[in-house]
């Protein structure tokens, strides 16, 4: 059992250390790893620690080489170095401590630096983690994480050994970003840094990164600036605005492909990536001017766990919504594309043409005159108006927004194998029927298409003269 080493302990050890004496050890209760070892050949201080799964004993010198206080201080510095992964207490380290304490002749030495002890700098660790993210996550997630961890604010960390970067260092950078007015960027950086550091501390990487578990626990961004204005709340587009969006989409004032994608987003309240990347084979006509949209698991936000199968999220499409799909199908067929909303040209020379980018939906909404909504605002409008104006239940809204399809639904995953549309048809019919009068009113009140086209161009290019031309 550990015991506090005192002057009396040292005196007894000195007396016991004689030929024929039985060996014993006193483990100090005040300095973890400090041991006083006594035997026939004398008494000496030792440091005990674990490294790479093995126990290490480092003799520190005879009982008279260090006082109790000096021995504890020496061991404390060794443990701090191990804890922070900035070095290893070995014989060279001990010799430097002796010289620094005036207990040995000083000699020229090369001090081991963290970069000599651990292989990865911040830039190297970032590359390794992003490789893993590219293997296990979607391309959009990879692009987002790479952008965040490579932002100019972090450039000063690139050549630093990972163990030398403290939570305080990152907290300072995050605080500076926050003070610059980029408060959401500061919060997002925290959301990316914490899993990055957690991965660095895992067994597969810890030996190269030098990061210990929990190194970034507690890292947070400063609180957001108080904003009590009406604009501080989340925006819910009124039904009149939703009607105006559909009316502009149908006016012919914009490219038909992007207009169709925006209109489908209004009718279905699905995420922009699911809409933009939709393929023709996901849509099924069922007669009566109606159809179904089978949104595949890969287009949804929640990810399936390894070894499990996630089924499509099926959205019923009443006639008004299906008519949007029908127009898009006709356009895609003429372009010989597998995508419902094919891109006009490949993103890079030599690449195959795929679908429009999800950001096209966001940008197009921003160009529309008299429209303030984002794609996510359209989802919020479905939930808000669906409940408050059209009498939908919260569970109804969740079933369309895909917030109710959790991975813990064993029955839905393995046993109840219908597509769920017996329940969701009435929900979508209620939504579309409630929205149609606002669409009709917006179409009736829409100005000349030339004026709308000019207003869109003016917003897009920021040049009224160019817009008029």
Do the beta carbons of residue 431 and residue 379 sit within 8 Å?
Answer: no
**Domain extents in the chain:** 7-112, 122-223, 239-468
Nearest to 69 by CA among 28, 99, 11, 25: 28
Beta-strand runs (E) in 52-116: 54-62
Rounded to 5°, the CA angle 72-78-79 comes to 90
- If one counts every other C-beta atom within 10 angstroms of the C-beta of residue 66, the result is 22
Order the strands of the 313-317 sheet from edge to edge: 283-287, 290-295, 313-317
Q: Which two tokens stand for residue 403?
A: 């917030």
- Give the per-residue pLDDT at 82: 82
CB-CB contact of 145 with 197 (8 Å) = no
Tell me, which fold does domain 7-112 have in CATH? Double Stranded RNA Binding Domain (3.30.160)
Angle between the N-to-C axes of helices 375-388 and 394-401, in degrees from 0 to 180, rounded to the nearest 10: 150
44 pairs with which residues across the strands?
37, 62
What is the token pair recorded at 41?
Answer: 């050949």
Structure tokens at 455: 């207003």
Q: Which of 317, 280, 268, 270 is nearest to 421 (CA)?
A: 317
User: Among residues 381, 367, 376, 359, which one has the least CA distance to residue 431?
Assistant: 381
Would you state the pLDDT for residue 386? 95
Domain covering 239-468 in this structure, CATH number: 1.10.443.10
Nearest CA-CA partner of 48 in 57, 60, 36: 57
Reported as a single tens digit per residue, the pLDDT across 407-457 is 444 444 443 334 567 889 999 999 999 999 999 999 999 989 999 999 999
d(CA 412, CA 402) in angstroms, rounded, equals 13
Same fold, 7-112 and 239-468: no
pTM over 0.75: no
Is the Cβ–Cβ distance between 321 and 268 less than 8 Å? yes
Q: 141 by DSSP, 3-state: which?
A: helix
Give the pLDDT of residue 145: 93
pLDDT at 350: 64
Task: Report the pLDDT value the prediction gives residue 348, as an integer from 0 to 100.
Answer: 63
Residue 221, both tokens: 């961004």
The dihedral built from the CA positions of residue 13, 17, 21 and 22, taken in this order, carries a sign that is: positive
DSSP run (H or E) holding 11? helix 7-16
What token pair was written down for 177? 């970003």
Q: Which residues of the chain have pLDDT under 50?
A: 106-112, 114-116, 231-232, 304-308, 404-418, 463-469
**pLDDT given for residue 228 in this prediction:** 59
C-alpha distance from residue 135 to each of 130, 148, 206, 304 (Å): 8, 18, 20, 15
């Amino acid at each position: 059992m550990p015991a506090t080493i005192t002057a009396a302990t040292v005196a007894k050890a000195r007396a016991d250390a004689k030929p024929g004496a039985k060996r014993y050890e006193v483990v100090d209760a005040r300095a973890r790893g400090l041991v006083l070892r006594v035997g026939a050949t004398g008494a000496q201080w030792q440091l005990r620690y674990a490294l790479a799964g093995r126990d290490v004993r480092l003799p520190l010198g005879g009982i008279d080489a260090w006082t109790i206080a000096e021995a504890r201080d020496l061991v404390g510095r060794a443990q701090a170095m191990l804890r922070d992964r900035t070095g290893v207490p070995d014989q060279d380290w001990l010799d430097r401590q002796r010289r620094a304490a005036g207990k040995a002749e000083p000699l020229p030495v090369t001090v081991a630096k963290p970069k000599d002890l651990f292989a990865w700098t911040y830039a190297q660790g970032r590359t390794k983690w992003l490789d893993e993210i590219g293997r296990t996550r979607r391309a959009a997630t990879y692009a987002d994480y790479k952008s965040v961890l490579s932002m100019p604010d972090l450039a000063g960390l690139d050549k630093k050994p990972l163990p030398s970067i403290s939570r305080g260092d990152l907290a300072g950078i995050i605080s500076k970003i926050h003070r610059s007015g980029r408060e959401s960027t500061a919060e997002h950086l925290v959301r990316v840094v914490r899993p990055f550091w957690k991965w660095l501390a895992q067994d597969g990487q810890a030996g190269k990164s030098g990061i210990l578990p929990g190194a970034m626990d507690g890292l947070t961004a400063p609180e957001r600036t108080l904003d009590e204005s009406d604009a501080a709340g989340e925006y819910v587009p009124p039904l009149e605005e939703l009607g105006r969006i559909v009316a502009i989409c149908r006016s012919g004032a914009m490219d038909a492909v992007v207009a169709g994608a925006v209109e489908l987003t209004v009718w279905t309240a699905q995420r922009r990536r699911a809409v933009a990347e939709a393929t023709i084979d996901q849509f099924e006509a069922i007669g009566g001017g109606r159809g179904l949209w089978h949104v595949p698991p890969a287009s949804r936000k929640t990810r399936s766990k390894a070894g499990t199968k996630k089924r499509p999220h099926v959205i019923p499409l009443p006639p008004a919504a299906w008519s949007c799909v029908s127009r898009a199908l006709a356009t895609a067929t003429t372009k010989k594309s597998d995508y419902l909303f094919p891109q006009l040209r490949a993103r890079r020379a030599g690449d195959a043409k795929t679908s429009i980018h999800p950001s096209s939906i966001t940008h197009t909404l921003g160009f529309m005159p008299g429209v303030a909504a984002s794609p996510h605002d359209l989802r919020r409008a479905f939930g808000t108006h669906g409940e408050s104006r059209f009498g939908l239940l919260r569970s109804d809204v969740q079933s369309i927004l895909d917030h109710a399809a959790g991975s813990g639904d064993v029955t839905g995953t393995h046993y109840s194998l219908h597509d769920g549309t017996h329940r969701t048809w009435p929900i979508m019919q209620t939504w579309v029927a409630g929205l149609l009068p606002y669409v009709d009113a917006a179409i009736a009140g829409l100005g000349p298409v030339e004026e709308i086209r000019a207003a869109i161009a003016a917003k897009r290019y920021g040049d009224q003269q160019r817009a008029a031309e």
